[in-house]
Amino acid sequence: MPTSQYPVLQFDPEVLLQAQGQSEQGIRAALLDVDGVFTDGGIYFSETGETLKVFHTLDGFGLKMLQQAGIEPVVITGRDTTALRLRLANLGVVHAYYGVEDKLQVAQQVMKELDLNWGQIAAIGDDWPDLPLLTRAAFAAAPLNAHAEVKAMVHYVTQVAGGHGALREFCDVLLLAGGCYDRFYRQWVKPEV
């Protein structure tokens, strides 16, 4: 079982064990909500009525590492904004579904396309519409600012709120549990020459 050997990054060994998934292949896809996970959950409007979003760069880098580790990010969100579409395109997210009312139906469709089962799925969400995914996923997480009922149903609650690095923390757990964290970490922390 992986353990955290990094000075600041510490996760409960039971969380890491759960985050390995329930199949030999481990976690292969991460189902991601947007409002309250990628963002702080606030809805901001410009003077012209355009919806504005604020995204945390830590989260984006975490998603890039997930992709490099072979974990497919799948965004399923109830809202649709230009800002979100631009951000996900910039991050290279291929599987993004906007304006979704029935997240479970979309998740099952994507899993069928990718030939995955719930034992290979991790999910993070913050509110009741995410519960059908969170209660089925092999590993489920919620941001610190999630609804209390959601936090009670998941394997892990992040130490920070959505929009403030919660998604990155979720990615770190998956990378550490999957044995990839060290490889990425060492790319950036090299001994002085």
What is the residue extent of each domain of the chain?
13-182
Dist CA 63 CA 59 (whole Å): 6
Is beta strand 156-157 parallel, antiparallel or unpaired with respect to 51-52? unpaired
The answer to whether the CB of 92 falls within 8 A of the CB of 118 is no
pLDDT of residue 2: 47
Of 187, 170, 154, which Cα lies nearest the Cα of 37?
Answer: 170
pLDDT at 5 over 90: no
Q: Is 40 annotated as a binding residue?
A: no
Over residues 137-159, the mean pLDDT reads 98
Q: Is 102 annotated as a binding residue?
A: no
Q: Residue ranges of the alpha helices (H) in the chain?
A: 13-18, 57-68, 82-91, 103-114, 131-134, 148-153, 166-177, 181-188
Which residue did the predictor score with more confidence, 83 or 153? 153
Q: Which residues contact 44 (CB under 8 A, 6 or more apart)?
A: 51, 52, 53, 54
pLDDT digits (tens, 9 = 90+) for 50-102: 888 888 999 999 999 999 999 999 999 999 988 899 999 999 999 999 999 99
Largest alpha-carbon pair distance within the chain?
Answer: 54
Over residues 117-135, the mean pLDDT reads 98
pLDDT of residue 192: 61
Over residues 186-192, the mean pLDDT reads 75
Q: Is 33 annotated as a binding residue?
A: yes
The answer to whether the CB of 127 falls within 8 A of the CB of 108 is no
13-182 is classed in which CATH architecture?
A: 3-Layer(aba) Sandwich (3.40)
Phi, psi of 32 (to 5 degrees): -125, 125
pLDDT of residue 187: 86
Over residues 178-193, the mean pLDDT reads 81
pLDDT digits (tens, 9 = 90+) for 14-47: 888 888 888 788 999 999 999 999 999 988 888 9
Over residues 109-122, the mean pLDDT reads 97
Dist CA 142 CA 148 (whole Å): 10
